[in-house]
Structure 1
Amino acid sequence: MEAVNITKLMCYSGVKFGTSGARGLVEHMTDRVCFAYTLAFLNHLEDTGLITQGMKVAVAGDYRPSSPRIMKAVGLAIEKAGFKPVNCGFVPTPAVAAYAIKRGIPCIMVTGSHIPDDRNGIKFYKPQGEILKDDEQGMCSRRVDIEAGLFDEQGQMLVDFAWTEETHEAYKEFVRRYISFFPHGCLKDKRIGVYEHSSVARDVLKDVMQGLGAEVIALGYSDKFIPVDTEAVRDEDVQLAKSWAAEHKLDCIVSADGDGDRPLVSDENGIWLRGDVIGIITAHYLGAEHVVTPVSCNSAVEKSGYFKSVRRTRIGSPFVIEVMNEWIDKGSQNIVGYEANGGFLTATSIEQNDKILTALPTRDAVVVPLALLMASIQAEQSISELMLTLPQRFTASGRLKDFPTELSQQKLKGLQQDMGWLSNAFGEVKNVNETDGFRITFVSEEVVHLRPSGNAPELRCYVEADSESRAEDMLALCLSGLEAWK
């Protein structure tokens, strides 16, 4: 038996926790590393009284080539820890989360989300939903025991593993979740393109849209993984959407990132919409009273006047969930959250037309295009016309890849003493918010927000202005200035 210190394992393996679980290069995510992380998760839940021996633990994955291998390592750890691994297959993260929450069991999703497939990751869920930062700290501080003879010197499994149970129920229940909530046949006059690429949500999106009556056109299928990032849409995807919309005369195009928890939605012209803007429409359509959203999101949410309260948090779903839980403790109802990437969370169940959409306090990519389409139908407007009903504040975002977190933190610390080129480019500073990274509001009311990514060696940049063209110009200026930091 070998005792493994998780904190030390994080350091020498290079597989660390970010805002959405553990992530690292595939070559570093050996079977042994993934096994140890899973043991730490289960031991933590058991010690805190959230699970007991013999319980089932659901597992799912995305379409990365490395996901099936890692899922087996996770399954082996579950079995060795005294639990029953259930293989839910290749389904969206919110699908396996909903399946587990309904049954009061934990679950694990193997995914690297939107990052390239030379990397992967593991997301951990308690029976109540996502692990929060306290849970992460509890896992990282643990020592776990690994039985001898399970792995070779390279950390690969030496034993055969067979799943205790395999099920398609997570997929089926997730599709039913939306078909049973939204009005029967509500999309019968809509032509909707589903950009499939390599998203594990592609079949769910097609089945849900068709189940509600839409004519669905499948587009852009890929059997190779494509790293679609809903906050930094690739130029080729921008052009594809415009050409598809014109060719097929679509009402909108819907898609999602790799693990299906971040939506990508266009209007009828094939223009991809910002996640932090369609989040406002979604929250309003669902009748939300209290909205929680990160500090980086579009300020139109406050300016709209749609909601009783809006709370801002650090970037990352665990921080959004913590504040949503505070509102639940106060007895509030109709609480939702969303992020700039478009991922939408429902902290409390939503009731409409005597139907209930049960709470799902994790990012979801399916509810957003449905709510957006329904809002446009109710308003008798196209999606582009509907978007014009919001206060017109425009955001843009980008990133510098291969920018180590340590370098990002060093450079941002320097901004505390000297705004340098930012002041020269955008004028006098009005205030600075350091809730997460460095968010600078200038006297002009323009905003520049810089922060290290929590999931990859990237420096992210968000800007906000009073026109789309100005936001794009600001982003280009910022990215050009940041390149000099490398």
Structure 2
Amino acid sequence: MDAISFGTDGWRARLDTFTDERVRTVGQAVADYLADEGFDAPVAVGYDARATSEGFAESLADVLADNGFDVLLPERDRPTPVIAWAVVDRGLSGALMVTASHNPPEYNGVKFIPADGAPALPAVTDAIEARLADPRADGPRGSIDRVDLVAAHAAQARDLVDPDLAGLTVVYDAMHGSGRRVTDALLESAGATVIRRRCDRDTAFGGVPPEPSAEHLSGLVDAVAAHDADLGIANDGDADRLAVVTPDRDYLDENLFFAAVYDALLAERSGPAVRTVSTTFLIDRVAAAHGEEVVETSVGFKWVAEAMVEHDALMGGEESGGFSIRGHVPEKDGVLMALLAADVAAGEPLDTRVDRLLDVHGDIVADKVSVDCPDERKAAVVDALGDAIPETVAGRAVEDVVTLDGFKLLLSDGSWLLVRPSGTEPKMRVYAEAESRERVDAILDEGRDLVAALV
């Protein structure tokens, strides 16, 4: 039980630690938590495309059923956002999702989705951790049924976006993950011509972690050019995040994508944006131009989701590619956002919209690096950083320090440096944003050196 710890987005570990025995322990803890909180509606258990995920999901379903809960399993691996929408759509007690997201195949994970479909906040995950116990049978056994959960999610996405993608050509890359025959089918149903890449199930993900980063999407960039496509879209392993490729920019930085889509939404709707502390200030400039505000949160979509609900935000997102919009569950959804990205591109090429935003608001370049740091050293490094804030970074004065999540140093020229501990890996993250590649590199170099001296 000591090996089970819910981090930024559930419990994730290598398979030598992530065992069936421990997974069943999590299932019992969730069953006890739901019962103690008075929930008695069915529970969904979803899973991604990893070789071990379906078996772990069946174990969780078995434990929940032993505790009297009826359980809904999808008919095959499905995206996390499909499971999250099912919780709200069907009025479920909650859901468990077996996934290690973008991690390599030697990892797996599980996260709990509460009844509101949003990511579980620490009060909930702490309550589940406190109930970790050996599985047991308690009362009449519940049923376990295989059901289709995709159709309802697809209908919700089309209702929210109301797309007309006729004449649009999209190259879709599932990265062998659970978005296959879900995201691409949704785009096709709205009229797009879809060219598919890596849309077969491969439990080893073709030897590449299902992380839709620039380094893993060179083939998608080439395919967009080869097919003269309007855009390319990729999902991560459980399809809660996305990346976009455009004809002119190749890999479209997630910060620029966020700004472009938020700007497009504001043409017909209103409302603030929610962004994490690691996400671009360009969102703030777009919001100000429309008379809107921006709410800044700690890193992690659970905090974005909480703020979206509190502030009735039009859109929320993070620089790692997780986004959602008003009217949907407050959880990142790479399937819905793929449809919205295509709809925005059908109205105006994303490159054209981004060019206009940068002409109006100024160029931005953002990047991040990591510094190895054992988990047990992270707190000490953060504490030490508080006493090591420099007066200048890359030749610009530090004008303010934001301590919402780690330390974010706001510099006199509008650029910034952020240092914070990773919630998923034994690393410290170093982020920077400035008006040029050279400035970002200089800021990152100083940030990396600052952290490395303290680890």
TM-score normalised by length of structure 2? 0.88
Structure 1 partner of 2:304: 320
Structure 1 partner of 2:339: 370
Q: 1:194 to 1:376 in 2, by over 3 A?
A: closer
Structure 2 partner of 1:353: none
| Whole-angstrom CA distance in 1 between matches of 2:62 and 2:321 | 34
| Whole-angstrom CA distance in 2 between matches of 1:454 and 1:395 | 24
Out of 97, 101, 125, the position equivalent to 1:113 is 101
**Contact 1:274 1:342 (8 Å CA) reproduced:** no
After superposition, what is the alpha-carbon deviation per residue over 1:131-187, rounded to whole angstroms, capped at 9, x for unaligned? 222111221222535349xxxxxxxxxxxx9982101x2122222333444446x21
Map 1:132-211 → 2, pairs under 5 A: 132-142=121-131, 144-147=133-136, 164-167=144-147, 169-183=148-162, 186-211=164-189
Structure 1 partner of 2:233: 254
Map 1:171-320 → 2, pairs under 5 A: 171-183=150-162, 186-221=164-199, 223=202, 224-225=204-205, 226-230=208-212, 233-237=213-217, 239-269=218-248, 271-286=250-265, 287-304=269-286, 305=288, 306=290, 308-320=292-304
Q: 1:270 to 1:247 in 2, by over 3 A?
A: farther
| Whole-angstrom CA distance in 2 between matches of 1:326 and 1:181 | 20
Map 1:353-364 → 2, pairs under 5 A: 359-364=328-333
The answer to whether 1:124 aligns with 2:91 is no
SS of the equivalent of 1:449 reads strand
Q: 1:102 to 1:427 in 2, by over 3 A?
A: same
Out of 365, 387, 401, the position equivalent to 1:417 is 387
**Contact 1:252 1:270 (8 Å CA) reproduced:** no
Q: 1:71 to 1:295 in 2, by over 3 A?
A: same
| Whole-angstrom CA distance in 2 between matches of 1:368 and 1:143 | 35
**Contact 1:256 1:263 (8 Å CA) reproduced:** yes
Shift, 1:369, TM fit: 3.4
SS of the equivalent of 2:237 reads coil
Q: 1:253 to 1:65 in 2, by over 3 A?
A: same
The answer to whether 1:101 aligns with 2:88 is yes
Out of 409, 412, 430, the position equivalent to 1:461 is 430
Shift, 1:34, TM fit: 1.1
Out of 337, 343, 350, the position equivalent to 1:383 is 350
Shift, 1:321, TM fit: 2.2
| Whole-angstrom CA distance in 2 between matches of 1:183 and 1:76 | 39
Structure 2 partner of 1:69: 55
Structure 1 partner of 2:408: 439
| Whole-angstrom CA distance in 1 between matches of 2:272 and 2:149 | 29
After superposition, what is the alpha-carbon deviation per residue over 1:273-309, rounded to whole angstroms, capped at 9, x for unaligned? 2223322333343424022221111111111123532
The answer to whether 1:400 aligns with 2:370 is yes
Percentage identity across paired residues of the two chains: 24
After superposition, what is the alpha-carbon deviation per residue over 1:329-378, rounded to whole angstroms, capped at 9, x for unaligned? xxxx55432122221223x42xxxxxxxxx22111112333333333433
After superposition, what is the alpha-carbon deviation per residue over 1:184-220, rounded to whole angstroms, capped at 9, x for unaligned? 6x21111111112122113212101111111111124
After superposition, what is the alpha-carbon deviation per residue over 1:6-36, rounded to whole angstroms, capped at 9, x for unaligned? xxx2x3x2x3111111112221111121111
The answer to whether 1:429 aligns with 2:398 is yes
Aligned residues: 437
| Whole-angstrom CA distance in 2 between matches of 1:227 and 1:164 | 32
Structure 2 partner of 1:81: 67
Which letter does structure 1 place at the counterpart of 2:354?
Answer: M
| Whole-angstrom CA distance in 2 between matches of 1:39 and 1:114 | 26
**Is 395-404 or 428-437 further displaced after alignment?**
395-404
| Whole-angstrom CA distance in 1 between matches of 2:142 and 2:17 | 24
Q: 1:244 to 1:482 in 2, by over 3 A?
A: farther
SS of the equivalent of 1:193 reads strand
Shift, 1:90, TM fit: 0.8
* RMSD (CA atoms): 2.6
TM-score normalised by length of structure 1? 0.82
Q: 1:476 to 1:113 in 2, by over 3 A?
A: farther
